[in-house]
Amino acid sequence: MTDEPDDLSDQPPLVQALLLARYTLVIHSGMRAVSEGETWKLDFASQIAEIDAALQTAGIDTTKPMFAPVKW
């Protein structure tokens, strides 16, 4: 195992989509949301676990870092 981040472009489109969804959920999980005067903490742990299970079934190492999905 290497510490080099995964490049999304090296993966099939379905895996790219799951990795992007996982990245987005990880970044936003734990943030505070405010609506109509109510505040709560976002928790996407169960969704992240489901995506991890699907990716691991496909043989993708979800413990490796990945590049941030930045469009240049």
Q: Give 1-58 pLDDT, tens digit per residue.
A: 455 656 667 788 998 899 999 999 999 999 999 999 999 999 999 999 999 999 999 8
Q: Are 12 and 72 in contact (CB under 8 A)?
A: no
Q: Can you give the residue range of the structural domain that contains 36?
A: 8-43
Q: Is residue 19 included in any domain, yes or no?
A: yes
Cα 12 to the chain's mean position, in Å?
Answer: 16
Q: Is residue 39 included in any domain, yes or no?
A: yes
Q: Is residue 17 included in any domain, yes or no?
A: yes
Q: Is residue 3 included in any domain, yes or no?
A: no
Burial of 26 (0-12, 13-18, 19+ CB in 10 A): middle
Q: Is the dihedral of CA 6, 8, 9, 14 positive or negative?
A: positive
- The total of structural domains in the chain comes to 1
